[in-house]
Structure 1
Amino acid sequence: MKKRQVGNLLALAVLSYLSRAAMHPYELSKTLRNHGDARSIKFNHGSLYMVVQQLAKAGFVAEQEVNRDGARPERTVYQITDAGREELRDWLRELVGEPQHEYPAFVSALSMVAALSPNEVVPLLRNRLKGLADLRAEADRSIESSEADGVPALFLIEERYRISLLDAEIAFVQDLFAQVDDWGPMWAAAHGEEYRPE
């Protein structure tokens, strides 16, 4: 993967929205939230302002104007530059076309799960399954609501991808229960316990 001058994925979202229209950071924040991007990209008001400043320093965005509405503080409106448009396209080509190794927290936990007793892990996995089902239902509702509002399918692909990942994780955790039953006695013995399948 190419090293980016501003590598935060929030920067990619900012470039994408500024490629459509010039905006000030407050408006960008509102747009990100209204379009559900907070489900895909972690951000807050402070981090957004910092990313906009980093993009400006890199020459990917530039001040278009500074305006004031009544007694409100001044707002700087930013526009994307030609270099920013090229960065946006290059970065998207890379992310769409080249798989990269990611570090999900659940994968990290699974790599160390033997530190817990299987008698503790089984209820935790049941709890995780319920949470995954809730997330799956929430993603379904989001798609249904967006489709009812006339949002084209192209703009829902991240939700469909999220559902595919949730389905895969649900299947994995369900399969893991059977494997825990196989390993349970040996695993519990390592913790000085007897395996108590539910």
Structure 2
Amino acid sequence: MDKRRKVANPLALAVLAELLTGPMHPYEMGRRLQEHGKDRHIKYNRGSLYMVVEQLHKAGFVAEQETVRDTQRPERTLYALTGEGRTELFDWLRDLLATPRPEYPRFGVALSLLGALPPEEAAGLLRRRLDALTREAEEIRAAVREAADGGVVWVFLADDEYRVAVLDAESRFVTGLIASLEDPDYVRGWHEFFGGTTGA
């Protein structure tokens, strides 16, 4: 059974991790998350980031350290990681790494209903998906090479390497699925079963 978290948004975990390096204000957190490429894995905007910081503050995981005032910018509150926040960070991270959980991807939903589409159309749509998967994998590989050449330590690129591995595995699966959809026995059987009753 999943452990109930006081703040369950994955963005909260990223914020706690950023604060390991020292106190900072939400704007700085957002800038660093983008610099570290975390915005590719966690959806957020400025409003959601400030909301998560406030939730972490209420939960006792971060504390206001000081308020910075200068004439150039608006007043900014710096937040620091508390002892409880540090404990939560490592407990949550260890749990996510060690325990696989179903994630209910949308592609899985589409696959469970794949038989509703004519084989020819389904194969064509999957070819489009395969092209998109290939492009994305190539883009990530290029970004990883550039980061590695720039001196980024491999452990900070593990999430990108994982994404490429997932994309490659999905590409192999989709390639095989297209071949199955184009098998004459399946095509004939589908048309006999549905008789042109599906497909808008």
Q: TM-score range by the shorter chain?
A: over 0.9
Q: Report deviation, 1:122.
A: 1.2
Question: SS at 2:64's partner residue?
Answer: strand
Partner Cα distance (2:87, 2:3) in 1: 14
Partner Cα distance (1:165, 1:10) in 2: 22
- Counterpart of 1:124 in structure 2 is 125
Does the C-alpha gap of structure 1 residues 188 and 46 become closer, same or farther in structure 2, counting only changes over 3 Å? farther
TM-score scaled to structure 2, two decimals?
Answer: 0.92
Q: Report deviation, 1:116.
A: 2.1
Q: Report deviation, 1:186.
A: 2.2
Aligned counterpart for 1:186 among listed residues 179, 185, 189: 189
1:125 counterpart letter in structure 2: L
* Runs of at least 5 residues in structure 1 that lack an aligned partner in the other structure: 194-198
TM-score scaled to structure 1, two decimals?
Answer: 0.93
C-alpha distance after superposition, 1:143-164 (max 9, x if no partner): 1010111011111111111111
Q: Report deviation, 1:188.
A: 3.6
1:187 counterpart letter in structure 2: W
- Counterpart of 2:140 in structure 1 is 139
- Equivalent pair of 1:119/1:188 in contact (CA under 8 Å): no
Aligned length: 193
Partner Cα distance (1:116, 1:68) in 2: 61
Partner Cα distance (2:126, 2:88) in 1: 41
Amino-acid identity (%)? 49
Superposed CA RMSD in Å reads 1.3
- Counterpart of 1:5 in structure 2 is 6
Partner Cα distance (1:34, 1:188) in 2: 52
- Counterpart of 1:196 in structure 2 is none
Partner Cα distance (1:40, 1:168) in 2: 18
* Stretch deviating more after TM superposition (110-119 or 19-28): 110-119
- Equivalent pair of 1:15/1:80 in contact (CA under 8 Å): yes
Q: How does 1:22-171 map to 2 (within 5 A)?
A: 22-171=23-172
* Stretch deviating more after TM superposition (113-122 or 127-136): 113-122
Question: SS at 1:76's partner residue?
Answer: strand
Q: Report deviation, 1:191.
A: 4.4
* Runs of at least 5 residues in structure 2 that lack an aligned partner in the other structure: none
